[in-house]
């Protein structure tokens, strides 16, 4: 397999599920599999572009593995792929996307493709994608009254709004119409563009 293909690290303590994810991805990407959090850190290096990380693992939790990945500053994108329903604790976590099991082949592949596109963007855009993903996730799981009552959600909303206001400057740096279209499509999928929500 070509060394030019992106590298995906699948981290999942259920071997059958880990191997299934790897099978779904192996035709388009180089894939490594780790069957636990500690093994994932052993497999992590500068070649890894995307990590698909289970959250509930016995040896080292996904939360702990994520913190260690970010400490290493490898520069990869991380999606949590987990049966753990999201709560407000996700606001402080350093992941880029969050999928709740069970996940389909198409949603897993779409997530990897989206995260790889994000690698081309500057840090501000990457932060916007990650925060917008968290905001959309919380909005899909919590009712409006619960959201309004949590300071973490309000701070998240304010930060998303602030980053969106800076977006116009960043968009002017895109020369390639395809890059612009792909980025805007990704962002539209993540961020609620309803004017009423931003007021």
Q: Mean pLDDT, the chain, as a whole number?
A: 84
Beta strand ranges found along the chain (DSSP E): 7-11, 30-34, 48-53, 77-82, 97-100
Residue by residue, DSSP assigns 110-139 as HHHHHHHHHTTS-HHHHHHHHHHHHHHHHH
Q: What is the CATH number of the domain that holds 37?
A: 3.40.50.2300
**Res. 196: pLDDT tops 50:** no
Residues 80 and 95 in one domain: yes
Structure tokens at 88: 């407000």
Number of domains the chain contains: 2
Residue 194: the pLDDT is 40
Q: How many CA atoms lie within 13 A of 112 on its CB side?
A: 27
3-state secondary structure of 163: helix
**139-157 pLDDT tens trace:** 999 999 999 999 999 999 9
Residues 22 and 110 in one domain: yes
Residues 100 and 140 in one domain: no
Residues 26 and 89 in one domain: yes
**98-139 pLDDT tens trace:** 999 999 999 999 999 999 988 777 677 788 888 888 999 899
Which one of 76, 92, 118 terminates a domain? 118
Residues 114 and 127 in one domain: no
Task: Please report whether residue 96 resides in a domain.
Answer: yes
Query: What pTM value is reported for the model?
Result: 0.72
Which one of 55, 84, 118 terminates a domain? 118
Residue 159 contacts residue 134 (beta carbons within 8 Å): no
Residues 17 and 84 in one domain: yes
* Phi and psi angles of residue 103, each rounded to the nearest 5 degrees, phi first: -115, 150
Task: Please report whether residue 199 resides in a domain.
Answer: no
Residues 91 and 24 in one domain: yes
Residue 37 contacts residue 59 (beta carbons within 8 Å): yes
Residues 33 and 130 in one domain: no
List of residues 6+ apart from 127 with CB closer than 8 A: 163
Residues 172 and 96 in one domain: no
Query: Residue 12 sits in which domain range?
Result: 7-118
């Amino acid at each position: 397999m070509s060394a030019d293909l992106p590298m995906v690290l699948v981290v999942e303590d259920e071997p059958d599920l880990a191997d299934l994810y790897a099978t779904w991805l192996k035709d388009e990407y180089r894939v490594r599999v780790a069957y636990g959090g500690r093994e994932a850190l052993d497999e992590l290096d500068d070649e890894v572009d995307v990590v698909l990380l289970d959250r509930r693992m016995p040896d080292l939790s996904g939360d702990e593995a994520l913190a260690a990945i970010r400490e290493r500053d490898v520069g990869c994108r991380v999606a949590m792929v987990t049966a753990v329903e999201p709560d407000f604790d996700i606001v402080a976590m350093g992941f880029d996307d969050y999928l709740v099991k069970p996940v389909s082949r198409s949603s897993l592949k779409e997530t990897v493709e989206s995260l790889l596109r994000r690698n081309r963007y500057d840090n501000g855009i990457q932060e916007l994608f990650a925060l917008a993903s968290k905001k959309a996730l919380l909005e899909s799981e919590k009712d409006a009254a619960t959201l309004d009552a949590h300071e973490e959600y309000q701070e998240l909303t304010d930060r998303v709004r602030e980053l969106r206001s800076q977006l116009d400057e960043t968009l002017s740096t895109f020369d390639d119409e395809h890059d612009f279209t792909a980025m805007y499509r990704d962002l539209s999928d993540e961020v609620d563009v309803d004017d009423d929500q931003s007021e």
